[in-house]
Structure formats: structure tokens, C-alpha cells
Amino acid sequence: MKRILGIMMVAVAVLTAPMAQAELRLGVKAGANISNFTTPDDKQFDFSNASLANFTGGLTVEWLFFGGLGVDAGVMYTAKGTEYKVGDDVLSDAYESLMGTNSVMKATVHYIEVPINLKYKLKIKGIEDFIAPFVYAGPSFAFKVGEDVTFGDDLFEETEVNFNNVDVALNVGFGVEVIKHLNVAAQYGWGLGKVMDLDLDVLGQKVEGLDMRTGVWTVTVAWMF
């Protein structure tokens, strides 16, 4: 019995040692993103030149529990969207008869986003107090709180846009921490599921049920306390 109790005490000590050295920090984060919608199931509908810039900002938390390995999470306001101009794709024939008009569809979705990333920060003794690079990856869950859709003219008057309430993405990023407080990072997020159903009827040219997914480049600056 004493031997078993001794083994259990050693096991608990080994498991809890990293926790005793854990670093938990809170911070504020803000930045900008460039987002777009992609259509993996319809190569004839081109959104490649339809990127839209938006703001992101909120609270972040960093918990390093084993050396430089830990979790980076947050609660962020994020806007994602696209600004599609009719051009060289499936709608080009309809567009030719309206050349010179401002045929634009602008769609922006507002989210509260919760990213949960596994993070590794490179800590080099004597240098980490001044600069420490890091990488991270993980999912994010964006919950829709609003949307704005506008059209440049009547070309899209028969368009129906339906946004889903949740957008799940996989993020991969890298950055650097300066003077132990300032974090600058860049990431790309791949949308994993359909974010929008889009049905178009433009001068007899119909596109229905497109599988629209998000792709987002984001640059942020955070101050950790």
C-alpha cells in the first residue's frame, strides 16, 4: 500500500509540475483582414478578384503550460465578405449587354468569433525578453450577429442571399512577440463549411445553390498584460 501511495504521489507531482510553471496572460487585440468567398464546386463562377477588407478586434488569452507550448484563444468581433463585380465568368454574356453599368454585389457578414489555437513560442534564454517568434494553428467558430448586402444596380434584383449562422474555419499563423508584451501576427483561415447559399438570376443567366466558403488573411497586433 505504501509503495502504491508513493507511486501515485510521484505521478501527481510529475503531472502537476508543468502546471505550476504555467503562464497565463490576457490581452487586447485588433487588426484587419482581407476576405473572399470561394466556390470549390463551380469553377465557372470567379470570385478571385472580389476580396474585401474589414476590421477585427477583441480579447485574447495565452496559456503556456509546458515550456513554449500552450493554448491561444480569444473572443473577437470579425467581419467577412466579398465585393463581386460581374465580369469574365458564367455571367459575362449577360454583362456584355449592360457594359458601362456599375454591376456590383457587396456582402459583409458580422461575427463574434472564438478561435482556439495550439501555440508554440520559441524561448531562447537571454533573448526571449526582447523577441520571441511563435506559430499556431487551430479551429475558429464564428457566430453571425448581423449582415449587410447591397447591390450597385438592378442587375442583381432577382438575387437571393442566405448566410448560415455559424462559420467554422481552420487557421494557421505565425508571429513575433516583442519586449514580452507586443504581439504581431499574420494568419490564413480556410472555411470548412458552406457560409452562404447564393441564387442568381441575371438577364436569364441562372446560378443556383453555390457552395460558398470563406478564405481570410488576417494581420493583428495584440498587447499582453
- Tell me the domains of the chain and their CATH numbers: 43-224 (2.40.160)
pLDDT in tens, 166-200: 999 999 999 999 999 999 999 999 999 888 776 66
When comparing pLDDT for 153 and 6, which is higher?
153
**Of the candidates 93, 78, 188, the residue with the CA atom closest to the CA atom of residue 135:** 188
- Mean pLDDT across the chain: 80
Q: What percent of the chain clears pLDDT 90, i.e. is strictly above it?
A: 48
Query: pTM value?
Result: 0.79
- How confident is residue 12, by pLDDT bands cut at 50, 70 and 90? very low
